[in-house]
């Protein structure tokens, strides 16, 4: 371990000591978030790690990628654990992160062949996932440095993250001004508000790519977590994980989570869609549809710790990714290797490949309009 890495870790330990949980579920109150140096990029840009805590929840957020590097919540006995996968150093985030905790843009998930046409113009995006463009291409919002401003507002605490994506960046038209607000409420909810404007017609699909393991990061597989997902339909994909256009019923398939079911229950079913995804890696069509206010989407529970996470969103879709491509080569925050199924993602979003699917809810943003999207993670225990 390098000296600088040790210094960063020592700094982190000191910061943690001032905020140490008392063992009760509501140990933290909403003080203004503070920052410490986390590392430096090759071009000399300093990357900071912000710590914000409120209610029972504490988040650590990097200015690189807006990455949630740690998310601590209590179990049913009030013991906190970091329930998000990540790294303890910047170099690993830069070199090999599968989007751990990151903000995703300009377009979450895949665009077929990295191509789309808008108002008669054709655009070609970088191909970084076989024949397709994934999560904004090879240098998406997860690899950009965000301007961060802390705030307190009433009993809320939070961070405002800003990034201006120049016209043509990663192949997308229009200067896109993006603001993402992470808020922790006094009840320990983590809320994400996205806003974006453009000066030319473009396509946008913003999300957050946290990998959860509610028993604690690095503690093994997530297959015994239960998931209840309010979605009667999902978007089946081809072998390159591009939607076929069908909105298929989940009934009598491994994709039926309408009643709580263990994540791992049907992952070994020889269903062609499970084969394509190497597990579940699919967009679910939320029953509530696109809404002006965040509405209920899902509940995840981890039986041993009793931790529960509910998600509410304005978005019409939810990508459920069961950590299929983790392969035991990445060493996580606490020094353990992540193997297949050691974390899962639930990414609120518009549907993949919408720019090529006029029948899907539109992802087109035009000058004068403001894209707004909100997703709330509410934590509790049982």
Q: What residues have CB less than 8 Å from 7, skipping those under 6 apart?
A: none
User: For residues 241 and 376, which CB has a smaller minimum distance to ligand BGC in the complex?
Assistant: 241
Least distance from C-beta 134 to ligand BGC, angstroms? 6
Question: Is position 149 annotated as part of the catalytic site?
Answer: no
Could you tell me where the DSSP H helices lie in 54-203? 90-96
d(CA 324, CA 320): 11
Give the closest residue to 310 by CA, choosing from 54, 142, 318, 370: 318
Task: Determine which residue in the list 75, 193, 281, 342 makes contact with ligand BGC, applying CB under 6 A.
Answer: 281
d(CA 326, CA 321): 11
Catalytic residue among 72, 169, 189, 347: 347
User: For residues 81 and 104, which CB has a smaller minimum distance to ligand BGC in the complex?
Assistant: 104
Task: Determine which residue in the list 66, 86, 98, 140 makes contact with ligand BGC, applying CB under 6 A.
Answer: 98
Cα atoms found within 13 Å of the Cα of residue 128, Cβ hemisphere only: 17
DSSP state of 173: -
Told to check if 342 binds ligand BGC by CB under 6 A, we report: no
Task: Determine which residue in the list 319, 348, 373, 374 makes contact with ligand BGC, applying CB under 6 A.
Answer: 319
Question: Is position 26 annotated as part of the catalytic site?
Answer: no
Task: Please provide the size of the chain in residues.
Answer: 382
Told to check if 212 binds ligand BGC by CB under 6 A, we report: no
User: For residues 66 and 98, which CB has a smaller minimum distance to ligand BGC in the complex?
Assistant: 98
Task: Determine which residue in the list 124, 325, 327, 334 makes contact with ligand BGC, applying CB under 6 A.
Answer: 325
d(CA 51, CA 66): 12
Told to check if 314 binds ligand BGC by CB under 6 A, we report: no
Q: What residues have CB less than 8 Å from 44, skipping those under 6 apart?
A: none
Told to check if 333 binds ligand BGC by CB under 6 A, we report: no
Phi then psi dihedrals of residue 4, to 5 deg: -65, -35
Task: Determine which residue in the list 109, 205, 299, 354 makes contact with ligand BGC, applying CB under 6 A.
Answer: 109
- Tell me which residues touch ligand BGC (CB under 6 A): 98-99, 109, 241, 281, 319, 321, 325, 345, 347
């Amino acid at each position: 371990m390098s000296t600088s890495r040790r210094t960063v870790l020592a700094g982190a330990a000191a910061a943690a000591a001032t905020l140490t949980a008392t063992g009760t579920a509501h140990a933290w109150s909403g003080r203004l978030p503070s920052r410490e140096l986390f590392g430096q990029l090759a071009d000399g840009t300093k990357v900071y790690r912000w710590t914000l805590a409120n209610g029972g929840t504490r988040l650590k957020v990097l200015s690189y990628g807006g990455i949630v590097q740690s998310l601590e919540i209590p179990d049913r006995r009030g013991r906190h654990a970091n329930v998000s996968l990540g790294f303890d150093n910047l170099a690993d985030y830069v070199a090999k992160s599968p989007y751990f905790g990151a903000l995703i843009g300009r377009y979450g998930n895949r665009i077929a062949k990295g191509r789309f046409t808008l108002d008669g113009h054709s655009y070609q995006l970088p191909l970084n996932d076989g024949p397709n463009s994934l999560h904004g291409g090879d240098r998406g919002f997860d690899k950009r440095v965000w301007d961060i401003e802390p705030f307190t507002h009433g009993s809320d605490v939070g961070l405002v993250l800003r990034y201006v994506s120049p016209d043509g960046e990663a192949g997308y038209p229009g200067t896109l001004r993006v603001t993402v607000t992470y808020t922790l409420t006094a009840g320990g909810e983590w809320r994400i508000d996205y806003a974006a404007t453009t000066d030319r017609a473009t396509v946008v699909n913003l999300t957050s790519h946290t990998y959860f393991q509610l028993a604690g990061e690095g503690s093994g597989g997530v297959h015994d977590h239960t998931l209840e997902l309010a979605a009667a339909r999902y978007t089946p994909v081809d072998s390159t994980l591009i939607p076929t256009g069908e909105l298929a019923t989940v009934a009598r398939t491994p994709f039926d989570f309408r009643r709580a079911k263990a994540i791992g229950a049907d992952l070994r079913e020889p269903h062609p869609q499970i084969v394509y995804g190497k597990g579940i890696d699919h967009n679910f069509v939320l029953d509530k549809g696109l809404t002006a206010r965040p509405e209920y989407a899902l509940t995840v529970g981890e039986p041993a710790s009793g931790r529960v996470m509910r998600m509410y969103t304005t978005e019409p879709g939810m990508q459920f990714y069961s950590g299929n491509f983790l392969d035991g080569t990445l060493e996580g925050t606490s020094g353990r290797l992540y193997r297949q199924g050691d974390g899962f993602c639930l990414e609120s979003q518009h549907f993949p490949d919408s720019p090529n699917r006029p029948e899907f809810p539109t992802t087109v943003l035009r000058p004068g309009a403001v894209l707004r999207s909100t997703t709330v993670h509410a934590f509790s225990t049982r």
